[in-house]
Amino acid sequence: MANTADFLAHQNQELQALQDAGLTKRERIITTPQGARVRTTDGREVINLCANNYLGLSSHPAVIAAAHAALDSHGYGLSSVRFICGTQDLHKTLEARLARFLGMEDAILYAAAFDANGGLFEPLLGEADAIISDELNHASIIDGIRLCKAQRWRYRHNDMADLQRCLQEADAAGTRFKLVFTDGVFSMDGTIAKLDEMRALCDQHGALLGVDECHASGFMGATGRGTHEHRGVFGKIDIITGTLGKALGGASGGFTAARREVVELLRQRSRPYLFSNTVAPSIVGASIAVLDLLEGSTALRDRLAENTAYFRAAIQRAGFEIKPGEHPIVPIMVYDAVVAQKLAARLLELGVYVVGFFFPVVPKGQARIRVQLSAAHDRAQLEAAVTAFVQAGRELGLLK
Ligand SMILES: *Cc1c(COP(=O)(O)O)cnc(C)c1O
């Protein structure tokens, strides 16, 4: 019979195996607010190119002021789930504002987008139904689908012919409702889902279309509404999930937006909503201020687009290979995992904070540095970052 000591020994073996495989994730400690520059525990300031702080709102004065105001007017926390005594006027306002911003009828808040996706599928679909999912969808979508009894199909990443195959198979299997679900933007490549083509395919097959907009809400499309706006299908998506923890302020919290009856059923049955605490008032108040900012002006998303275009061109001119595209996620391809780690480490010494991604986060032999641009970066910071990339790239023999 195994005892507690055996259990702990087992966990240590697992940790050692991760370490031996070079897969241990180390958390770097920063001592400043999130921003274009951050300070690490050794006291050095570095240019930050690895946050999801796309619009620079994580430390924006108007957002901080709104959080303070809501803290004063509505308190620190509610000590309740929504349906007992955890719903304030602020929560209802934010849900209505999110729905309007996204072009949807209604929205429901969650503690995180992970919960929005985790609690989405099971209340809406059953054994008779079909969920058709992109093979590279986010872990929270995969987990949410696992919790649902619907029949499952998976199509090759962003492959419309393969999506059509799945729709045909689901039809042939006699399924009742079909829901196609995709990330709007895929976080490792910055790939943008072809929502226009997907909408057409879904219409041909009477399928619903759902999109996770975590890497899109606030800045994709001409007014920042998201991938649906970017692809010309604003108002034509059935379900949108997203996060308040990236471009929309960067604190935490998530949401699902959909038709009124869908949102209402989620309020009745979605387990992460029913059995988890309400979003803190300070975050809710600040998120309303974020939507005020974004509906009032496109300056931040325009600045982000300019920074993205500048960096993508400059890093390629410097001789690096990137995954082509237009998203502020810029994968700089290194291919070799060890080189990717060395490059990230050297860049940190040179004052640029980036992270190397390698197997199993990306396929074997596809190691990369993932740069993420922000509206908070100024041109001098981006120029300095490219200069550091060139120096480190030469030292490591990546550039001539
Ligand atoms: C970050 C992310 C999530 C999780 O968002 P949280 O609000 O932090 O839980 C879900 N889906 C996608 C695609 C993401 O990128």
Provide the residue type at 245 as one letter. G
Instruction: Quote the percentage of the chain above a pLDDT of 70.
Output: 100
Dist. CA 43 → ligand 1 center (Å)? 30
pLDDT, position 25: 86
Model confidence pTM above 0.75: yes
Annotated catalytic residue 10: no
Give yes or no for residue 187 having a pLDDT over 90: yes
List the catalytic residue out of 187, 270, 282, 374. 187
Ligand 1 atom nearest to 253, measured from its CA? 7
Span 346-365, average pLDDT: 93
Q: State pLDDT tens for residues 100-144.
A: 999 999 999 999 999 999 999 999 999 999 999 999 999 999 999
Mean pLDDT, the chain, integer: 97
Dist. CA 374 → ligand 1 center (Å)? 18
- Top mutation candidate among 115, 246, 276 for ligand 1, by most atoms within 8 Å of CB: 246
**What is the residue with the minimal CA distance to atom 1 of ligand 1?**
214
Dist. CA 398 → ligand 1 center (Å)? 33
Q: State pLDDT tens for residues 233-248.
A: 999 999 999 999 999 9
pLDDT, position 361: 87
Instruction: For residue 184, report the phi and psi dihedrals to the nearest 5 degrees.
Output: -70, -45
SS (H, E, C) the chain: CCCHHHHHHHHHHHHHHHHHCCCCCCCCCECCCCCCEEEECCCCEEEECCCCCCCCCCCCHHHHHHHHHHHHHHCCCCCCCHHHHCCCHHHHHHHHHHHHHHCCCEEEEECCHHHHHHCCHHHHCCCCCEEEEECCCCHHHHHHHHCCCCEEEEECCCCHHHHHHHHHHHHHCCCCCEEEEEECECCCCCCECCHHHHHHHHHHCCCEEEEECCCCCCCCCCCCCCHHHHCCCCCCCCEEEEECCCCCCCCCCEEEEECHHHHHHHHHHCHHHHCCCCCCHHHHHHHHHHHHHHHHCCHHHHHHHHHHHHHHHHHHHCCCCECCCCCCEEEEEEECHHHHHHHHHHHHHCCEECEEECCCCCCCCCEEEEEECCCCCCHHHHHHHHHHHHHHHHHCCCCC
Q: State pLDDT tens for residues 193-215.
A: 999 999 999 999 999 999 999 99
Ligand 1 atom nearest to 115, measured from its CA? 9
**What is the residue with the minimal CA distance to atom 14 of ligand 1?**
214
Ligand 1 atom nearest to 215, measured from its CA? 15
List the catalytic residue out of 74, 138, 194, 215. 215
Dist. CA 365 → ligand 1 center (Å)? 25
CA dist 68 and 65 (Å) reads 5
Ligand 1 neighbours, Cβ below 6 Å, are 112-114, 117, 138, 140, 183, 187, 212, 214-215, 243, 245, 254
pLDDT, position 229: 98
Annotated catalytic residue 68: no
Q: Checking phi first, is residue 151 left (phi over 0); if not, alpha (psi -120 to 50) or beta? A: beta
Span 379-398, average pLDDT: 97
Give yes or no for residue 92 having a pLDDT over 90: yes
pLDDT, position 209: 99
Span 361-390, average pLDDT: 96
Q: State pLDDT tens for residues 6-45.
A: 999 999 999 999 999 888 888 999 999 999 999 998 899 9
- Cα 191 to Cα 99, 214, 352: the distances in Å are 25, 13, 24
**What is the residue with the minimal CA distance to atom 5 of ligand 1?**
113
Q: With contact defined as beta carbons under 8 Å apart, do 354 and 347 qualify?
A: yes
Annotated catalytic residue 187: yes
Give yes or no for residue 360 having a pLDDT over 90: no
Dist. CA 216 → ligand 1 center (Å)? 11
pLDDT, position 160: 98
List the catalytic residue out of 74, 228, 246, 327. 246
- Residue 224 confidence class, pLDDT cut points 50, 70, 90: very high
- Top mutation candidate among 138, 219, 287, 361 for ligand 1, by most atoms within 8 Å of CB: 138
- Residue 400 confidence class, pLDDT cut points 50, 70, 90: confident
Ligand 1 atom nearest to 141, measured from its CA? 11
pLDDT, position 344: 96
CA dist 208 and 236 (Å) reads 10
